[in-house]
Amino acid sequence: MPVDPVARTRRSSYEKPYDPEPIRNRLRELLARKNESMREASLRSGLDHQAVRRIMTGQRPNITSCVLIARHFDINPNELLELAGWPAMEAFSLGNPDLQNLPPEAAAVALDLARIKDPGTRKQVAEAIRTLLAKYFD
C-alpha cells in the first residue's frame, strides 16, 4: 500500500478545522504529572519560553514543537501530532504489530511499562499487573 508523501498529508491538514481543546487537555495532564509550569516545559523541550503557553491559548503547534514536547514528556510524538491535527508519522509508529491490534487501554499500559528503565522494576510492575488480572479472571 503506497504511503502519501508527508508534504501532501501536511497540506491537507491545513484544510481541516483545528480544535485546540484536545491538545490543551493533554498538555494540562502532562504538566500536572511533571509538576511543571508552561514556561519550564517549553524551555526543557528546547523551545522558546512561550511555546506551551501559545498552544494553551489556542495556537496550533507546528510539527517540530509537537515532537520536541512529546520527547520532553516521554510520550509518542504521534499522540501530540494527531491531537494538533497533523498526520501521524510512520517513523514514530509502534513497530510491534501485535501492540497495534490491542485495545487503546492495553496499549497505553504496555507503553507505560516500556518507559520503566530499570528491568527489575519493570518486571515487578508487570507481575503485579498480571496478578491483578489473574484475580479478575478467576
> pLDDT (tens digit, 9 = 90+) per residue, 79-107?
999 999 988 888 887 555 566 677 888 88
CB 8 within 8 Å of CB 86: no
Domain region containing 126: 97-137
Do the domain assignments include residue 19?
A: yes
CATH number reported for the structural domain that contains residue 33 in this entry: 1.10.260
Helix (H) or strand (E) holding 3: none
Q: Angle at Cα 41 formed by Cα 75 and Cα 39, nearest 5°?
A: 160
- C-beta pairs of 44-48 under 8 Å, 24+ apart in sequence: 44/72, 45/69, 45/71, 45/72, 46/72
Q: How many domains does the chain have?
A: 2
Residues 15 and 57 in one domain: yes
C-alpha 50/C-alpha 61 separation (Å) is 12
pLDDT band, very low/low/confident/very high, at 1 (cuts 50, 70, 90): very low
Residues 18 and 43 in one domain: yes
Do the domain assignments include residue 1?
A: no
Residues 85 and 122 in one domain: no
Residues 21 and 85 in one domain: yes
The predicted model scores a pTM of: 0.63
Tens digits of residue pLDDT in 34-57: 999 999 999 999 999 999 999 999
